[in-house]
Structure 1
Amino acid sequence: MTFTQWFVFILILQVIHGAGTWKFYVAAGRKAWEAFVPLYNAVVLLKIVKRPTWWLLLFFIPIINLIVIPVVWVETLRSFGKKSTGDTALAVFTLGFYLYYVNYTQPLPYEADRSTHPATKTGETVSSILFAIVVATFVHTYFIQPFTIPTSSLEKSLLVGDFLFVSKFNYGARVPNTTVAAPMVHDTIPLLRKKSYLYDDENPSSWKQKLQFPYLRIPGFETVKNNDIVVFNWPADTVAQFFVKDRKYLKPVDKKSNYVKRCLGIPGDSLQIKEGIVYVNGNPLILPDRAKPQYSYTVVFDHKQFSDITPFLEENDVTDGGGIANGRWESDTLFINAMTDDVAKKLRTVTGIKKVERIIFKEASLSVFPYTKPWNIDNYGPIYIPKAGATVALDLKT
């Protein structure tokens, strides 16, 4: 929905709220009309249930509000003597409409001096868990989120299985687009292998899609720079075999798979790869010392002098390209998929090594983006990355 549609939707919710709670307000010594005034009704209700006014902010934070609003329903009932487990369950499982029943059919003795401290150990535990979930979700969504590196694309800088914390406030945290979702999980509920969010990937006009929040990003204090390592949602993610085998799922942008990559070009840059070397604006890309790019190599060696290259590969953490059988190499030529220049130089000094040559693809291919030019993975571009205000020609080739 657009911001205007959300505004109208919220006004409708205020009418629904007022119609189902105005007698609670009157019983607490307030006016009936106060239950219908947007924002003000929430401030008054928080005073009635003896909760701090700053909770009002939590009502407008996606995901967190899904936890806080049911808590306020329960607190409202308890402020008027409805403290049983059944009352609590009915408030939550009827999505608050149980308050309608109480509002119109039950006496409402207001307990102005009610203690907000949980009366039982169980209540205290539940209260502590809910508070922890709210705080963790807020930090997770807007400040820092933990990730585990799933693939080897940044090998030698970040390893598979590395655990890291990623700052969201540096570049400006994005407000979740998906307003109805489980807290602190991404696209899947652990163990259950079920969607963690409300979205209909088969029907774009579904009411579930209308609950998507417009794109909104909180201002940050940094912008992405060349060579920054960034985590982002993969735009084209459809994920085959996600929940059901052999089926693809279209997901909302904030639930698309998380990718971690190094940013080589930023808006306004001209990006090119020549002979396997990246160029930005015509200059070779200078990577930080920690970055150790890997290349593919052809290695020719003499079996008589160097019959087993495996120990060298293991010692230097090199990914071999196959060709081994029964513990020995089948030929004198080995293709290595990923090896740094430093390791290649070391390998050239080993006795029995005849040649270590980087593999550079020369042949044109239409299998790389944008699939219309005779480029390949080692000779690519130049391609211009548009910046705000720039004008670019759009045709079948660009």
Structure 2
Amino acid sequence: MAKKEEKSGGGILETIKTIVYALLIAGVFRTLFFQPFWIPSGSMKDTLLIGDFLFVNKMSYGYSYASCPSLYLPSFGIDIDARDICGFLDGDNARLFGSEPERGDIAVFRHPITGRDFIKRVIGLPGDRIQMKQGVLHINDEPVQVEPAGTFEEVAEPQGPQRLRPRCENGPVGTGGTCEKSRFTETLPNGVSHNILNITMQGSDNTSVYTVPEGHYFMMGDNRDNSSDSRVPSAANGVGFVPYENLIGRANRVIFSSAGSSMLFFWTWRGDRFFEKLQ
């Protein structure tokens, strides 16, 4: 009887060890190599859709305090920030094995104020002058090339776990109707081309000149009229300029995509987006 109890106790101990080792390996993998990221909003449509799942390459830009994982589960009262783990690396705006992002990269970064993970496109590099005029992006006082690319259409209905309704250029559109946005192909000075969407003419389509400070980057969403990005200062609930050390990594490919409120709803999976390369 004692031997059975001893064997049972040893089995439990081995199970605990296995779980701990697995968590440690997963933590190291997530910190050094790839971080999973689930797209929660439509600020990067049509490049990224709500419900896209991807892995962020952390080796792209090297490592800083932002490379450490954070855990935010408000339902359970859990809010572990990367600074709680790797705060000793914060403060010098530098990176270990650092590599600078290129204009046009789709980058995940930590919000300068809230610390939450954001994903946007790198538009402005240190020293650049960025301005929007009549909805056209200007870099260093020159307008970027923009060409019509048809119409982006989606169903006007709640999307994703947050049940967000899309904004429509042809709105208001009733539930189940076709929500439309004008689509354009924008080509940046380094030759990177990507789609952008237009909904309406609004304040963020006409801005003052933003001069990107040294060691910082200017980020914008591809869904230009529905994106909280560097056009609004971080102190005013925007993003503002993003410090180099806040970069987490680059997104290169969609791994999986679900149009439903849960990834478990297999009937809502978008099979045509599996392993789709991003540009």
Q: TM-score range by the shorter chain?
A: 0.5 to 0.7
Shift of 1:132: 0.8
- Secondary structure in 1 aligned to 2:124? coil
Shift of 1:233: 1.2
Q: Measure, in 2, the Cα distance between the counterparts of 1:272 and 1:319.
A: 24
Out of 310, 316, 319, which is 2:168 matched to? 319
**Aligned twin of 1:340:** 183
CA contact (8 A) 2:109 2:118 kept: yes
Q: Measure, in 1, the Cα distance between the counterparts of 2:124 and 2:66.
A: 26
**Aligned twin of 1:187:** 72
Shift of 1:172: 1.2
Q: Measure, in 2, the Cα distance between the counterparts of 1:379 and 1:269.
A: 17
AA in 1 matched with 2:32: Y
Out of 213, 216, 219, which is 1:386 matched to? 213
Q: 1:359 to 1:318 in 2, by over 3 A?
A: closer
Q: Percent identity, aligned pairs only?
A: 25
**Aligned twin of 2:102:** 225
Q: Measure, in 1, the Cα distance between the counterparts of 2:169 and 2:140.
A: 34
Out of 9, 12, 19, which is 1:129 matched to? 19
Q: 1:228 to 1:293 in 2, by over 3 A?
A: farther
Q: Measure, in 2, the Cα distance between the counterparts of 1:259 and 1:326.
A: 28
Q: 1:151 to 1:218 in 2, by over 3 A?
A: same
CA contact (8 A) 1:320 1:337 kept: yes
After TM superposition, list the pairs within 5 Å mapping 1:192-207 onto structure 2.
192-197=75-80
Out of 140, 144, 157, which is 2:30 matched to? 140
Moved over 6 A (4+): 292-295, 325-328
Greater share of strand: 2
AA in 1 matched with 2:110: N
Q: 1:187 to 1:273 in 2, by over 3 A?
A: same
Q: 1:130 to 1:293 in 2, by over 3 A?
A: farther
CA RMSD of aligned residues (A): 4.5
After TM superposition, list the pairs within 5 Å mapping 1:16-95 onto structure 2.
none
CA contact (8 A) 2:66 2:110 kept: no
- Secondary structure in 2 aligned to 1:130? helix
After TM superposition, list the pairs within 5 Å mapping 1:303-318 onto structure 2.
314=155
**Aligned twin of 1:258:** 117
Shift of 1:219: 2.1
Question: How many equivalent pairs are there?
Answer: 185
TM-score between the two structures when normalised by the length of structure 1: 0.38
RCO (CA 8 Å, sep 6+): is it higher in 1 or 2?
2
Consecutive unaligned residues of structure 1, counting only runs of 5 or more, are 1-83, 86-117, 179-183, 200-207, 238-255, 296-311, 329-335, 343-356, 362-375, 389-398
Q: Measure, in 1, the Cα distance between the counterparts of 2:175 and 2:10.
A: 67
Which structure is larger by alpha-carbon Rg, 1 or 2? 1
CA contact (8 A) 2:128 2:211 kept: yes
Consecutive unaligned residues of structure 2, counting only runs of 5 or more, are 157-165, 186-197, 216-279
Q: Measure, in 2, the Cα distance between the counterparts of 1:327 and 1:124.
A: 53
Out of 118, 132, 139, which is 1:273 matched to? 132
Whether 2:96 is the aligned partner of 1:215: answer no
Q: 1:262 to 1:212 in 2, by over 3 A?
A: closer
After TM superposition, list the pairs within 5 Å mapping 1:94-173 onto structure 2.
120-173=10-63
Shift of 1:161: 0.8
Deviation per residue, 1:160-182 (Å, 9 max, x gap): 0100000112111223699xxxx
- Secondary structure in 2 aligned to 1:187? strand
AA in 2 matched with 1:157: T
- Secondary structure in 2 aligned to 1:263? strand
Q: Measure, in 1, the Cα distance between the counterparts of 2:127 and 2:97.
A: 20
Shift of 1:294: 8.5
- Secondary structure in 1 aligned to 2:101? coil
Q: 1:212 to 1:325 in 2, by over 3 A?
A: closer
Q: Measure, in 2, the Cα distance between the counterparts of 1:128 and 1:271.
A: 51
After TM superposition, list the pairs within 5 Å mapping 1:9-20 onto structure 2.
none
Greater share of helix: 1
CA contact (8 A) 1:143 1:173 kept: no
Q: 1:264 to 1:337 in 2, by over 3 A?
A: farther
